[in-house]
Amino acid sequence: MKSPWNICLATPLFLLLPIHTWASPASEDQASARYSNGHTCVACVVVVSVIEQLAQVHNSTVEASMERLCSYLPEKLFLKTTCYLVIEIFGPDLIKLLNTDMNADVVCHSLEFCKQDPGQPLCHLYPLPKEAWKPTLEKARQIVKKSPSLKHSRSSSDICSLPFLARICQRIKSAIKNSVPFKDVDSDKYSVFPTLRGYHWRGRDCNDSNKMAYPGRRPVNWDIHEDSNCNGIWGVDPKDGIPYEKKFCEGSQPRGIILLGDSAGAHFHISPEWLTASQMSLKSFISLPTALTNELNWPQLSGTTGFLDSISGIKENSIYLRLRKRNHCNHRDYQNISRNGASSQNLKKFIESLSRNQLLDHPAIVIYAMIGNDVCSRKVDPVPEMTTPEKLYSSIMQTLKYLNSHLPNGSHVILYGLPDGRFLWDNLHDRYYPLGQLNKDVTYAHFYSFLNCLQVSPCHGWMSSNKTLRTLTSERAKQLSHTLKKIAASKKFTNFDLFYVDFDFQEVTEEWQKRGGQPWQLIEPVDGFHPNEVALLLLADRFWKKVQLQWPQVLGKENPFNPQIEQVFGDQGGH
Ligand SMILES: *[C@@H]1O[C@H](CO)[C@@H](O)[C@H](O)[C@H]1NC(C)=O
Ligand SMILES: *[C@@H]1O[C@H](CO)[C@@H](O)[C@H](O)[C@H]1NC(C)=O
Ligand SMILES: *[C@@H]1O[C@H](CO)[C@@H](O)[C@H](O)[C@H]1NC(C)=O
Ligand SMILES: *[C@@H]1O[C@H](CO)[C@@H](O)[C@H](O)[C@H]1NC(C)=O
Ligand SMILES: CC(=O)N[C@H]1CO[C@H](CO)[C@@H](O)[C@@H]1O
């Protein structure tokens, strides 16, 4: 759930090695150097594996395989250019090493992308080579030493510091910055630009020259002249002179949906095609530039605020789309306030980006879903890092007070519990990891232990072969869920009512199995951690059904004018 790790792992391209250096969150702990080294190592092993496997799949030379990888990458964000540059730098070493049958672990250690610190264990993804590790590595080092290629690799832990690449890094950074025109993404809340936390994250702004027009507000003057709430309904019915907004929406109790979530809520996803040599083609990387500018989240497809039809072929819709279907006056009224790495403890740092005016706006449904980071950490001993029930209690009360002073009266807040993440290990540990499928040599158990060894796992507690630890993590998650449940049952707030729902992955798994699926198919294959799109949509479905049954007032009534709205306004201008 921590973004830099994720971004690095996402990169069957060298270019992205540098990205973590500016995508890092503010975690300034002392181990952050090791953390960053860990990412570099993961990225190196992934990239070298992909090159090696492309050569195997196409029965080609290492050189041809590097060329092939670069040729698949899009031009955008200088991905292709950088790829060619990087093979220029590292290609000669890679060719020699891979031609002497060194595997990705050995290659990355000999190029010093991976380092074994004194007193630390040796971290490797693949099973250790048959001959002893030390002589093999020594042999590899000799090969690299004799190599005519640049001496840069000695300090390659941050590729951006290579003189050669510094300029490119700069250009990529500014390219990313410049793709957010006009508006400052931090101060401004709605946007007409899809990524960099634009409308993939919140309802699209409908009038850029009017700051007072935004999704979710109560209409100004019944939107006779313009669409002040961006729901696509405005103007006057020429037949009777009644404003459409009044005719169709008055008394329909419009409401928005706001998610306070973590990377699961934002729908974190690394496409397995980016690292599966056997399926790799030009098409594989089309979505990469967009994904990178969204911090590898796909909120437009997420379970809560997603608005695109799912590509997974599943018919369930996001909660936003359901609310919109129920009452077309809710069109565009969604906000994700989700962050990779978010937890109850750091939510206060970004909850201010929630945008709701108590006096001017419609009520909102706020879903609080911090489903992992309170018990997940990458540390060797994750237990002391976990949020305690006491700490959770006080930070949730703070959050709720904040919400009470920002949400319009009549809002609803729903607290999600934490899942029991033991399903990860139980369903994945003996399955092959994407990089291990070709040669049947790397399972998720290997992958997890590689991440734990490097201390970059998004959730050491659950992604671990240590059963005691997995159980401890689940126990803490259960205590935290219990705390949330207790708060929901006992606390009252003036501007919203408060509910609790379990994060019941078991139910979702059962539903999926009823449809003929397997539990492992609900987990993101590359990170082996996040619920995938299907899981998120099934969860949204469970959520919707529970709420409809127990607290129908949260969802509001079906708007009888929906067919007329469709007739007059069509698709209401997109989301
Ligand atoms: C792979 O390529 C080599 C040399 O081009 C050739 O001798 C060999 O038969 C090929 N193997 C397969 C499985 O195609
Ligand atoms: C956008 O807002 C401006 C300023 O309020 C207004 O003059 C204009 O008509 C609006 N445009 C549309 C398309 O509603
Ligand atoms: C909020 O609305 C409820 C009715 O929905 C009303 O009883 C209550 O007085 C309102 N509270 C405030 C602070 O306006
Ligand atoms: C397993 O985890 C527990 C709890 O963190 C720890 O006390 C124990 O030493 C671990 N066992 C091994 C073999 O690492
Ligand atoms: C929490 C969070 O990241 N919210 C973002 C949602 O999107 C807006 C812009 O569209 C950002 O400014 C927020 O930071």
Distance 464 CA to ligand 4 centre (A): 10
Q: What is the pLDDT of residues 271-287, one digit of tens each?
A: 888 889 999 998 888 88
86 band by pLDDT with thresholds 50, 70 and 90: confident
Please report the atom of ligand 3 found closest to the CA of residue 409.
Answer: 1
Q: What is the pLDDT of residue 195?
A: 47
- Catalytic residue positions? 263
- For the Cβ of 353 lying below 6 angstroms from any atom of ligand 5, the answer is yes
Distance 466 CA to ligand 4 centre (A): 6
Which ligand gives the minimal distance to the CA of 475?
4
Q: Whose CA is nearest to atom 4 of ligand 5?
A: 337
Tokens, residue 119: 């007193």
Q: Whose CA is nearest to atom 6 of ligand 4?
A: 469
Q: Do 148 and 475 touch, CB atoms closer than 8 A?
A: no
Q: What is the pLDDT of residues 420-442, one digit of tens each?
A: 999 999 999 999 999 999 999 99
Distance 58 CA to ligand 1 centre (A): 9
* pLDDT over threshold 60, residue 394: yes
Q: What is the pLDDT of residue 478?
A: 97
Q: What is the pLDDT of residues 171-184, one digit of tens each?
A: 555 554 544 332 23
Distance 97 CA to ligand 1 centre (A): 20
161 band by pLDDT with thresholds 50, 70 and 90: low
- For the Cβ of 220 lying below 6 angstroms from any atom of ligand 2, the answer is no
* pLDDT over threshold 60, residue 500: yes
Sign of CA dihedral 24, 267, 321, 540: negative
Which region among 133-147, 173-187, 265-279, 339-353 has the lowest average model confidence (pLDDT)?
Answer: 173-187
Q: What is the pLDDT of residue 532?
A: 87
| Mean pLDDT (whole number) for 444-453 | 96
* pLDDT over threshold 90, residue 13: no
Q: Which residue has the higher pLDDT, 52 or 293?
A: 52
Mean of pLDDT over the chain: 82
Q: Whose CA is nearest to atom 6 of ligand 2?
A: 210
* pLDDT over threshold 60, residue 199: no
- For the Cβ of 92 lying below 6 angstroms from any atom of ligand 3, the answer is no
* pLDDT over threshold 90, residue 117: no
* Contacts of 101-108 spanning 24+ positions with Cβ under 8 A: 102/136, 102/140, 103/52, 103/129, 104/44, 104/45, 104/48, 104/49, 104/52, 105/45, 106/136, 106/137, 106/140, 107/44, 107/48, 107/140, 108/41, 108/44, 108/45, 108/48
- For the Cβ of 350 lying below 6 angstroms from any atom of ligand 5, the answer is yes
- Which has the closest alpha carbon to 272: 151, 38, 444? 444
pTM listed for this prediction? 0.82
Q: What is the pLDDT of residues 226-263, one digit of tens each?
A: 999 999 999 999 999 999 999 999 999 999 999 898 87
Q: What is the pLDDT of residue 131?
A: 78
| Candidate of 337, 352, 355 to mutate for ligand 5, largest count of ligand atoms within 8 Å of Cβ | 337
